[in-house]
A = this chain, B = another copy of it.
Amino acid sequence: MQTSDLRKAGLKATLPRLKILEVLQQNKQDHLSAEDVYRKLLDNEEDIGLATIYRVLSQFEDAGLVIRHHFEDGHALFELEQGPHDHLICVKCGKIEEFFDNEMQQRQRDLANKSGFDLSKHTLVLYGDCQTANCENDTKKDSS
């Protein structure tokens, strides 16, 4: 029951919000665009307006429930907040992996401090060739 999560965030527990949250939870490991969320809801017989999805995702972001990314192409991808982690993206197949490295986090804090900044967040994305057998094949267009 995620009604409580919404309440905690100061948001009314409306049906669209619950359904959107549900989609995000069912795709914890992915990075979804607003459009993706929209389509997954349609597949689920839930006809929620795109504008609502954008609105709700922004509210979730403000509430800290969701993280918004702008990888290469500039258009927004969302994922549930699941603690600090960074991304590794294959430039050939588009696969996105996540990783966490404490030492790196620490060094980032140190570098920020050295420049007089009080670090509040960061974005680190590593791009490379994943070198797996089924890379190219899997030229991730979509997963409809």
On A, residues with C-beta under 8 Å from B are 70-76, 88, 90-91, 97, 99, 101, 103-104, 107-108, 111-112, 115-132
Q: How many copies does the complex hold?
A: 2
The verdict on A126 contacting B111 (CB below 8 Å), with A70-B72, A118-B131 known, is yes
- Residue in contact with A115 in the complex, picked from B88, B123, B127, CB distance below 8 Å: B88
The verdict on A123 contacting B120 (CB below 8 Å), with A72-B70, A74-B75 known, is no
- The 7 tightest CB contacts between A and B, nearest first, are A117-B128, A119-B128, A70-B74, A118-B129, A70-B70, A123-B125, A74-B74
CB of B101 within 8 A of CB of A104, answer no
Q: Does more than half of chain A's interface fall in helix, strand or loop, or is it mixed?
A: mixed
Contacts of A75 in B (CB 8 A): 74
Contacts of A70 in B (CB 8 A): 70-74
Listed A/B pairs (7) with beta-carbon separation below 8 Å: A88-B112, A99-B115, A101-B111, A115-B130, A117-B128, A119-B126, A122-B127
Contacts of A123 in B (CB 8 A): 123-125, 127
The verdict on A116 contacting B130 (CB below 8 Å), with A70-B74, A74-B74, A74-B76 known, is yes
Rounded to whole Å, the gap between the CB of A74 and the closest CB of chain B is 4
